[in-house]
A and B are shown apart, each in its own frame.
Chain A
Amino acid sequence: NAGVTQTPKFQVLKTGQSMTLQCAQDMNHEYMSWYRQDPGMGLRLIHYSVGAGITDQGEVPNGYNVSRSTTEDFPLRLLSAAPSQTSVYFCASRADLDYGYTFGSGTRLTVV
């Protein structure tokens, strides 16, 4: 049981480049979320999904797209990277609303 797996762990992008952060879970969880963490701050919700084919925006969705074609995978796409998107990105999942979240190990992204 691998839990929540995020790839890559580190990434450097140039301004304007696009990329996809991968997130996969093997626990058959319906609920998945993407958060970003900026220095000295708590986590802020970017996008979330309550099941395959269903996604919605969180607190800071601008500049990011998501899709949920399978229960296992929830990729986060940066359309045109900006320095303001330099952050640590965490993916999380949970079985349902009566359980807590399990977080992945994070992706540290730097946009130059």
Chain B
Amino acid sequence: GIQVEQSPPDLILQEGANSTLRCNFSDSVNNLQWFHQNPWGQLINLFYIPSGTKQNGRLSATTVATERYSLLYISSSQTTDSGVYFCAVGLKAAGNKLTFGGGTRVLVKP
């Protein structure tokens, strides 16, 4: 199956700092999502981004499918950005199957 690696595993930021999270995957995919799991355990869909670049407020994401990686950018971080960020990938031909990475745990300090 597809292997998904996220880096770094842990990230501590001072409020206001910028950061980049990376997701590498082992095979071609045409389905990629970024999620934020908040401290209460809720999974929030950030981006559906199988290719290209998207932005939503202080967050943006870029996927280079041909090179098998995706990046999530957090700018001007806030304490509410704390939590775990997951990348999940899949192939449309495989239907519903999303494979999740191990996540990046982010702590934003005030």
Majority secondary structure, A binding face: strand
User: Tally of A-B residue pairs with Cβ under 8 A?
Assistant: 59
Contact with B along A86-100 (1 / 0, CB 8 A): 001010000001011
Measured between beta carbons, the chain B residues less than 8 angstroms from A97 are: 31, 92, 95
Complex: A53 Cα to B9 Cα, angstroms: 40
- Per-position 1/0 for A22-45, Cβ under 8 A of B: 000000000111000000011111
Interfacial chain A residues near B4, Cβ < 8 Å: 42
Question: Is A45 within 8 A of B42, CB to CB?
Answer: no
Partner of B86 from the list A43, A48, A59, A108 (CB cut-off 8 Å) is A43
Distance between Cα atoms of A20 and B43 in the complex (Å): 22
Min Cβ gap A97→B in Å is: 5
* Interface size counted on chain B using CB atoms at 8 A: 23
By size class, the interface of chain A is 20 to 34
The answer to whether A41 and B96 have CB atoms under 8 Å apart is: no
Q: Least Cβ distance of B31 to chain A in Å?
A: 7
